[in-house]
Amino acid sequence: MIEIKGLTKRYGALTALEDLTLSIGPGEIFGFIGPNGAGKTTTMKILSCLLRADAGSASIDGLDVTRDGDKIRRLIGYMPDFIGVYDDLTVGEYLQFFASAFGVPRSRRRAVIDGVLELTDLTGKRDAMVESLSRGMTQRLGVARVLIHDPKVLLLDEPASGLDPRARIEMRSLLTELGRMGKSLMVSSHILSELGEMSTSIGIIEKGKLIYAGTLKDALEKTRGGERIAVTLEPGGASAGAVRGVLERDERVAGVKVVSSREGEAGEAAGVNGGAAERLLVELRPGAHGHHFVIEGVLAAGGRIGSFEPQGVKLEDAFLRLTKGVLQ
Protein backbone atom coordinates (compact mmCIF):
# COMPACT_ATOMS: atom_id res chain seq x y z
CA MET A 1 0.00 0.00 0.00
CA ILE A 2 2.81 2.43 0.95
CA GLU A 3 6.26 2.01 -0.63
CA ILE A 4 9.16 4.32 0.22
CA LYS A 5 12.59 3.90 -1.36
CA GLY A 6 15.67 5.97 -0.60
CA LEU A 7 13.68 9.01 0.48
CA THR A 8 15.90 12.01 1.31
CA LYS A 9 14.96 15.54 2.32
CA ARG A 10 17.29 18.39 3.28
CA TYR A 11 16.62 21.85 4.65
CA GLY A 12 19.84 23.66 3.87
CA ALA A 13 22.57 22.00 5.92
CA LEU A 14 20.02 19.97 7.92
CA THR A 15 19.20 16.48 6.65
CA ALA A 16 15.65 15.75 7.80
CA LEU A 17 15.46 12.36 6.03
CA GLU A 18 18.34 10.23 4.82
CA ASP A 19 17.78 7.30 2.46
CA LEU A 20 14.52 6.21 4.12
CA THR A 21 13.18 2.90 2.81
CA LEU A 22 10.13 1.09 4.21
CA SER A 23 6.95 -0.69 3.18
CA ILE A 24 3.48 -0.73 4.78
CA GLY A 25 0.95 -3.31 3.65
CA PRO A 26 -2.86 -3.19 3.46
CA GLY A 27 -4.55 -3.29 6.87
CA GLU A 28 -1.33 -2.64 8.80
CA ILE A 29 -1.09 -0.29 11.75
CA PHE A 30 2.43 1.03 11.39
CA GLY A 31 3.81 2.73 14.48
CA PHE A 32 6.35 5.39 13.47
CA ILE A 33 8.50 5.99 16.52
CA GLY A 34 11.06 8.67 17.16
CA PRO A 35 11.74 11.83 19.17
CA ASN A 36 10.59 15.27 18.03
CA GLY A 37 12.62 16.32 15.00
CA ALA A 38 13.45 12.75 13.96
CA GLY A 39 11.79 13.04 10.54
CA LYS A 40 8.32 11.61 11.16
CA THR A 41 6.36 14.70 10.13
CA THR A 42 8.57 15.28 7.08
CA THR A 43 7.85 11.73 5.91
CA MET A 44 4.09 12.19 6.31
CA LYS A 45 4.10 15.53 4.50
CA ILE A 46 5.90 13.94 1.54
CA LEU A 47 3.38 11.08 1.48
CA SER A 48 0.55 13.64 1.65
CA CYS A 49 1.95 15.48 -1.38
CA LEU A 50 2.55 18.60 0.73
CA LEU A 51 6.33 18.44 0.42
CA ARG A 52 8.74 17.29 -2.28
CA ALA A 53 11.65 15.01 -1.49
CA ASP A 54 15.14 15.83 -2.76
CA ALA A 55 15.82 12.19 -3.69
CA GLY A 56 14.16 8.80 -3.65
CA SER A 57 10.57 7.83 -4.36
CA ALA A 58 7.32 7.17 -2.55
CA SER A 59 4.05 5.68 -3.72
CA ILE A 60 0.63 4.89 -2.28
CA ASP A 61 -1.41 2.13 -3.85
CA GLY A 62 0.91 2.25 -6.86
CA LEU A 63 0.54 6.03 -7.36
CA ASP A 64 3.65 8.22 -7.27
CA VAL A 65 3.47 11.11 -4.78
CA THR A 66 5.27 13.50 -7.15
CA ARG A 67 3.13 12.81 -10.22
CA ASP A 68 -0.27 11.64 -8.95
CA GLY A 69 -1.05 14.11 -6.20
CA ASP A 70 -4.71 14.62 -7.08
CA LYS A 71 -5.40 10.89 -7.12
CA ILE A 72 -3.45 10.24 -3.92
CA ARG A 73 -5.39 12.90 -2.01
CA ARG A 74 -8.53 10.86 -2.69
CA LEU A 75 -6.89 7.77 -1.18
CA ILE A 76 -5.45 9.23 2.01
CA GLY A 77 -6.57 10.97 5.16
CA TYR A 78 -3.84 13.15 6.70
CA MET A 79 -4.17 14.44 10.24
CA PRO A 80 -1.31 16.74 11.32
CA ASP A 81 -0.07 16.92 14.88
CA PHE A 82 -2.03 20.14 15.38
CA ILE A 83 -5.33 20.37 13.54
CA GLY A 84 -6.85 23.72 12.73
CA VAL A 85 -10.59 23.76 13.33
CA TYR A 86 -13.30 26.31 12.61
CA ASP A 87 -14.47 27.29 16.07
CA ASP A 88 -17.59 29.14 14.89
CA LEU A 89 -19.15 26.02 13.37
CA THR A 90 -21.01 23.15 14.98
CA VAL A 91 -19.52 19.66 14.69
CA GLY A 92 -22.15 18.77 12.09
CA GLU A 93 -21.48 21.91 10.04
CA TYR A 94 -17.73 21.29 10.21
CA LEU A 95 -18.13 17.79 8.78
CA GLN A 96 -20.65 19.01 6.20
CA PHE A 97 -18.05 21.45 4.92
CA PHE A 98 -15.41 18.77 4.44
CA ALA A 99 -17.88 16.30 2.96
CA SER A 100 -18.67 18.94 0.34
CA ALA A 101 -14.96 19.69 -0.21
CA PHE A 102 -14.25 16.02 -0.85
CA GLY A 103 -17.14 15.71 -3.28
CA VAL A 104 -19.36 13.44 -1.22
CA PRO A 105 -22.73 13.51 -3.02
CA ARG A 106 -25.32 15.66 -1.25
CA SER A 107 -27.73 12.69 -1.08
CA ARG A 108 -25.17 10.65 0.90
CA ARG A 109 -23.71 13.29 3.19
CA ARG A 110 -26.12 12.78 6.08
CA ALA A 111 -25.48 9.03 6.19
CA VAL A 112 -21.71 9.47 5.81
CA ILE A 113 -21.56 12.04 8.62
CA ASP A 114 -23.76 9.87 10.85
CA GLY A 115 -21.35 7.00 10.26
CA VAL A 116 -18.14 8.86 11.14
CA LEU A 117 -19.78 10.46 14.18
CA GLU A 118 -20.82 7.05 15.46
CA LEU A 119 -17.39 5.56 14.77
CA THR A 120 -15.62 8.36 16.64
CA ASP A 121 -18.22 8.43 19.45
CA LEU A 122 -19.25 12.02 18.70
CA THR A 123 -22.91 11.47 17.80
CA GLY A 124 -24.07 13.37 20.86
CA LYS A 125 -21.90 16.35 19.90
CA ARG A 126 -23.36 16.94 16.40
CA ASP A 127 -24.92 20.28 17.42
CA ALA A 128 -22.13 21.35 19.79
CA MET A 129 -19.88 24.23 18.79
CA VAL A 130 -16.41 23.06 17.83
CA GLU A 131 -14.89 25.59 20.25
CA SER A 132 -16.70 23.88 23.16
CA LEU A 133 -15.02 20.50 22.61
CA SER A 134 -12.36 19.11 24.91
CA ARG A 135 -8.90 18.35 23.54
CA GLY A 136 -9.75 14.64 23.28
CA MET A 137 -13.02 15.32 21.42
CA THR A 138 -11.22 17.73 19.08
CA GLN A 139 -8.72 15.00 18.21
CA ARG A 140 -11.57 12.56 17.56
CA LEU A 141 -13.21 15.19 15.36
CA GLY A 142 -9.95 15.38 13.44
CA VAL A 143 -10.13 11.63 12.82
CA ALA A 144 -13.79 11.96 11.78
CA ARG A 145 -12.76 14.63 9.26
CA VAL A 146 -10.08 12.48 7.62
CA LEU A 147 -12.57 9.58 7.38
CA ILE A 148 -15.27 11.60 5.63
CA HIS A 149 -14.24 10.43 2.13
CA ASP A 150 -13.51 6.83 3.25
CA PRO A 151 -9.75 6.81 2.52
CA LYS A 152 -7.75 3.59 2.22
CA VAL A 153 -4.72 5.07 4.03
CA LEU A 154 -4.57 7.20 7.18
CA LEU A 155 -1.50 9.27 8.04
CA LEU A 156 -1.88 10.37 11.66
CA ASP A 157 0.83 12.58 13.13
CA GLU A 158 0.83 12.40 16.94
CA PRO A 159 -2.95 11.80 17.21
CA ALA A 160 -2.78 11.31 20.99
CA SER A 161 -0.65 14.39 21.66
CA GLY A 162 -1.82 16.33 24.70
CA LEU A 163 -4.57 13.88 25.62
CA ASP A 164 -5.33 12.75 29.16
CA PRO A 165 -5.03 9.02 29.99
CA ARG A 166 -8.72 8.27 29.34
CA ALA A 167 -8.69 10.09 26.01
CA ARG A 168 -5.53 8.20 25.00
CA ILE A 169 -7.24 4.89 25.65
CA GLU A 170 -10.26 5.98 23.62
CA MET A 171 -8.04 7.12 20.74
CA ARG A 172 -6.10 3.83 20.80
CA SER A 173 -9.35 1.86 20.65
CA LEU A 174 -10.55 3.96 17.73
CA LEU A 175 -7.35 3.45 15.72
CA THR A 176 -7.38 -0.29 16.43
CA GLU A 177 -10.94 -0.47 15.11
CA LEU A 178 -9.91 1.37 11.93
CA GLY A 179 -7.19 -1.22 11.41
CA ARG A 180 -9.76 -3.99 11.77
CA MET A 181 -11.77 -2.28 9.05
CA GLY A 182 -8.89 -2.90 6.64
CA LYS A 183 -7.45 0.60 6.48
CA SER A 184 -3.67 1.07 6.43
CA LEU A 185 -2.50 3.40 9.20
CA MET A 186 0.80 5.19 9.68
CA VAL A 187 0.69 6.57 13.23
CA SER A 188 3.58 8.63 14.55
CA SER A 189 4.38 9.17 18.20
CA HIS A 190 7.25 9.61 20.62
CA ILE A 191 5.21 7.85 23.31
CA LEU A 192 6.25 4.23 22.93
CA SER A 193 3.63 2.58 25.13
CA GLU A 194 0.65 3.86 23.15
CA LEU A 195 2.00 2.44 19.88
CA GLY A 196 3.20 -0.84 21.33
CA GLU A 197 -0.33 -1.90 22.27
CA MET A 198 -1.91 -1.41 18.85
CA SER A 199 0.78 -1.56 16.15
CA THR A 200 1.20 -4.57 13.88
CA SER A 201 4.55 -3.23 12.68
CA ILE A 202 6.87 -0.44 13.75
CA GLY A 203 9.59 1.79 12.42
CA ILE A 204 12.14 3.51 14.64
CA ILE A 205 13.65 6.70 13.21
CA GLU A 206 16.30 8.99 14.67
CA LYS A 207 17.93 12.04 13.06
CA GLY A 208 16.35 11.16 9.73
CA LYS A 209 17.71 7.62 9.65
CA LEU A 210 15.57 4.50 9.93
CA ILE A 211 17.07 2.29 12.63
CA TYR A 212 14.55 -0.53 12.50
CA ALA A 213 11.46 -1.48 10.52
CA GLY A 214 9.48 -4.69 10.90
CA THR A 215 6.93 -6.42 13.06
CA LEU A 216 6.70 -5.72 16.75
CA LYS A 217 7.19 -9.44 17.43
CA ASP A 218 10.47 -9.49 15.48
CA ALA A 219 11.68 -6.37 17.29
CA LEU A 220 11.00 -7.94 20.67
CA GLU A 221 12.55 -11.27 19.66
CA LYS A 222 15.62 -9.48 18.32
CA THR A 223 16.16 -7.53 21.52
CA ARG A 224 14.72 -9.62 24.28
CA GLY A 225 17.74 -11.75 25.19
CA GLY A 226 16.39 -14.42 27.50
CA GLU A 227 13.01 -14.69 29.19
CA ARG A 228 12.54 -12.97 32.52
CA ILE A 229 10.58 -14.31 35.46
CA ALA A 230 9.56 -12.57 38.68
CA VAL A 231 9.45 -14.86 41.72
CA THR A 232 8.01 -13.77 45.07
CA LEU A 233 9.25 -15.71 48.10
CA GLU A 234 6.96 -16.29 51.05
CA PRO A 235 8.31 -15.77 54.59
CA GLY A 236 9.47 -18.87 56.45
CA GLY A 237 11.63 -20.34 53.68
CA ALA A 238 15.11 -19.64 52.36
CA SER A 239 16.01 -15.97 51.86
CA ALA A 240 16.31 -14.29 48.49
CA GLY A 241 20.08 -14.28 48.85
CA ALA A 242 20.21 -18.02 49.49
CA VAL A 243 17.89 -18.80 46.54
CA ARG A 244 19.90 -16.51 44.30
CA GLY A 245 23.06 -18.43 45.05
CA VAL A 246 21.47 -21.70 43.95
CA LEU A 247 19.94 -20.26 40.77
CA GLU A 248 23.16 -18.57 39.66
CA ARG A 249 24.90 -21.95 39.55
CA ASP A 250 22.42 -23.13 36.89
CA GLU A 251 23.96 -22.68 33.44
CA ARG A 252 20.52 -21.89 31.98
CA VAL A 253 20.21 -18.71 34.08
CA ALA A 254 21.86 -15.50 32.83
CA GLY A 255 21.33 -13.40 35.93
CA VAL A 256 19.31 -13.00 39.11
CA LYS A 257 18.40 -9.70 40.69
CA VAL A 258 17.10 -9.44 44.24
CA VAL A 259 14.36 -6.81 44.53
CA SER A 260 13.37 -5.36 47.91
CA SER A 261 15.60 -7.74 49.86
CA ARG A 262 16.20 -7.34 53.61
CA GLU A 263 19.96 -7.52 53.35
CA GLY A 264 21.73 -7.02 56.62
CA GLU A 265 18.98 -8.36 58.84
CA ALA A 266 19.59 -11.38 61.03
CA GLY A 267 17.30 -13.60 59.00
CA GLU A 268 19.16 -12.74 55.76
CA ALA A 269 22.52 -13.56 57.30
CA ALA A 270 21.21 -16.93 58.40
CA GLY A 271 19.79 -17.59 54.96
CA VAL A 272 16.21 -17.67 56.25
CA ASN A 273 13.41 -15.36 55.17
CA GLY A 274 11.50 -14.83 58.37
CA GLY A 275 9.84 -11.49 57.65
CA ALA A 276 8.19 -9.83 54.69
CA ALA A 277 7.97 -11.43 51.26
CA GLU A 278 10.98 -10.95 49.01
CA ARG A 279 11.19 -10.80 45.23
CA LEU A 280 13.64 -12.12 42.65
CA LEU A 281 13.92 -11.21 38.98
CA VAL A 282 15.42 -14.16 37.09
CA GLU A 283 16.71 -13.77 33.52
CA LEU A 284 17.23 -16.93 31.49
CA ARG A 285 19.89 -17.31 28.85
CA PRO A 286 18.71 -16.89 25.22
CA GLY A 287 17.29 -20.18 24.00
CA ALA A 288 16.59 -21.55 27.48
CA HIS A 289 12.99 -22.75 27.55
CA GLY A 290 10.79 -24.05 30.33
CA HIS A 291 10.22 -22.41 33.67
CA HIS A 292 10.21 -25.63 35.65
CA PHE A 293 13.93 -25.53 36.37
CA VAL A 294 13.56 -22.11 38.04
CA ILE A 295 10.85 -23.54 40.27
CA GLU A 296 13.04 -26.57 40.98
CA GLY A 297 15.97 -24.30 41.87
CA VAL A 298 13.90 -22.22 44.27
CA LEU A 299 12.52 -25.31 45.99
CA ALA A 300 15.95 -26.96 46.11
CA ALA A 301 17.28 -23.90 47.94
CA GLY A 302 14.48 -24.17 50.48
CA GLY A 303 12.47 -21.21 49.17
CA ARG A 304 8.71 -20.97 49.38
CA ILE A 305 7.08 -19.59 46.20
CA GLY A 306 4.32 -17.04 46.67
CA SER A 307 3.99 -16.05 43.01
CA PHE A 308 5.67 -16.90 39.71
CA GLU A 309 5.17 -14.46 36.81
CA PRO A 310 6.88 -14.49 33.37
CA GLN A 311 7.68 -10.90 32.43
CA GLY A 312 6.95 -9.72 28.88
CA VAL A 313 9.44 -7.49 27.08
CA LYS A 314 7.96 -4.05 26.41
CA LEU A 315 8.39 -1.82 23.39
CA GLU A 316 10.45 0.54 25.54
CA ASP A 317 12.96 -2.29 26.13
CA ALA A 318 13.17 -3.00 22.39
CA PHE A 319 13.65 0.69 21.61
CA LEU A 320 16.48 1.12 24.09
CA ARG A 321 18.27 -2.03 22.92
CA LEU A 322 17.84 -1.33 19.21
CA THR A 323 19.11 2.23 19.56
CA LYS A 324 21.95 1.50 21.99
CA GLY A 325 25.10 3.01 20.55
CA VAL A 326 23.16 4.62 17.69
CA LEU A 327 21.56 7.63 19.30
CA GLN A 328 24.68 8.95 21.02
Strands 63-64 and 55-60: antiparallel
Convert the pLDDT of each residue in 1-11 to its tens digit. 899 999 999 99
Give 44 or 278, the one with higher predicted confidence.
44
- Domains of the chain, by residue range, sit at 2-221, 225-312
Convert the pLDDT of each residue in 104-126 to its tens digit. 999 999 999 999 999 999 999 99
Sign (positive or negative) of CA dihedral 91, 96, 99, 105: positive
User: Is residue 326 pLDDT above 60, yes or no?
Assistant: no
Average the pLDDT over 8-37 and give the result: 92
Lowest mean pLDDT among 63-77, 239-253, 287-301: 287-301
CATH class for the region spanning 225-312: alpha beta
User: Is residue 267 pLDDT above 70, yes or no?
Assistant: no
Per cent of the chain over pLDDT 90 is: 49
Q: How confident is residue 55, by pLDDT bands cut at 50, 70 and 90?
A: very high
Position 323 scores a pLDDT of 65
Position 227 scores a pLDDT of 73
Could you give the CA distance from residue 230 to residue 167 in angstroms, rounded to a whole number? 32
Predicted TM-score of the model (pTM): 0.73
Convert the pLDDT of each residue in 181-214 to its tens digit. 999 999 998 777 677 778 889 998 988 999 889 8
Position 167 scores a pLDDT of 85
Convert the pLDDT of each residue in 145-180 to its tens digit. 999 999 999 999 988 877 888 888 888 899 999 999
Q: Which residues pair with 186 in a beta bridge?
A: 30, 155
* CATH numeric code, 2-221: 3.40.50.300
User: Is residue 324 pLDDT above 70, yes or no?
Assistant: no
Q: How many CA atoms within 13 Å lie on the side-chain side of 55? A: 11
Sequence-separated (6 or more) residues with CB below 8 Å from residue 306: 232, 233, 234, 277
User: Is residue 72 pLDDT above 90, yes or no?
Assistant: yes
Could you give the CA distance from residue 322 to residue 206 in angstroms, rounded to a whole number? 11
Position 64 scores a pLDDT of 96
Q: How confident is residue 65, by pLDDT bands cut at 50, 70 and 90?
A: very high
